[in-house]
């Protein structure tokens, strides 16, 4: 079915969802849905599109890419985020993430993607999940991955050396 804006998408520009304007939500949805068409998923036939909104206004897209050796395939969220990272975007660069699938209710990012996204998205970052009709649900990164092992969870190398020395002593 063609994508149509849901009621939430038609709110005036000033209104916001998790700090996003309705225009940003609209663009994130359009791009995640468009990215579904780029999926390579001959095995599952489960198309997933992802879009990332960077703080500079750029949108980065991704789609799932499967493999004949099934576990080798990669999810849409990780192709999008990897593409963004090699363009120079980093932790703090992302205003929001969106994913789109052909199912209802909306599908949410798998566990591996939650961890992967958390490396570059702070806990308040909204993650929009679009269903087959273009309606969306939104949860934050922190809600999807509470008490995460994030990039700040690793002590510095110096600190680790010190801790290891103490332990051996
Ligand atoms: O968060 C998810 C979950 C699944 N998939 C892909 C992986 C595989 O190609 C297909 C079926 O699991 O959907 C994603 O892209 N993102
Ligand atoms: Zn995934």
The number of domains in the chain is: 1
Using a 6 Å cutoff on CB, does residue 41 contact ligand 1?
A: yes
Range of the domain at 79: 16-167
> pLDDT tens digit string along 28-78?
999 999 999 999 999 999 999 999 999 999 999 999 999 999 999 999 999
Residue closest via CA to ligand 1's atom 3 equals 110
The closest ligand to the CA of 63 turns out to be 1
Ligand 1 neighbour 100 (Cβ under 6 A)? no
Catalytic positions, please? 77
* Three-state SS at 50: strand
- Identify whether 6 is part of a domain: no
Complex ipTM value? 0.99
- Domain assignment present for 141: yes
Residue 9 lies inside a defined structural domain of this protein: no
pTM for this model (two decimals): 0.90
86-100: average pLDDT: 98
The pLDDT value recorded for residue 15 is 65
CA 48 to ligand 2 centroid distance, Å: 10
Q: Please state, in angstroms and rounded to a whole number, the distance separating the CA atoms of residues 130 and 40.
A: 19
Give me the torsion for CA of 132, 116, 63, 137, rounded to 10°. 20
* CATH code, domain with 129: 3.40.140.10
Asked if residue 76 belongs to a domain, the reply is yes
> Which residues, 6+ apart, have CB-to-CB distance to 26 below 8 Å?
5, 9
């Amino acid at each position: 079915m063609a994508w149509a804006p849901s009621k939430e998408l038609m709110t005036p520009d000033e209104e916001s969802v998790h700090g996003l304007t309705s225009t940003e939500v609209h663009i994130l949805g359009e791009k995640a849905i468009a990215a579904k068409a780029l999926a390579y998923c001959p095995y599952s036939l489960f198309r997933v599109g992802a879009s990332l909104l960077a703080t500079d206004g750029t949108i980065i897209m991704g789609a799932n890419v499967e493999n004949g050796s099934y576990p080798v395939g990669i999810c849409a969220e990780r192709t999008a985020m990897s593409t963004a990272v090699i363009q120079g975007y980093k932790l703090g660069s992302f205003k929001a993430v969106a994913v789109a699938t052909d199912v209802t209710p909306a599908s949410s990012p798998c566990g591996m993607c939650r961890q992967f996204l958390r490396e570059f998205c702070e806990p308040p970052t909204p993650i929009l999940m679009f269903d087959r009709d273009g309606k969306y649900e939104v949860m934050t990164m922190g809600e999807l991955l509470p008490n995460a092992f994030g990039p700040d969870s690793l002590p510095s190398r110096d600190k680790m050396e010190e801790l290891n020395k103490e332990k051996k002593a």
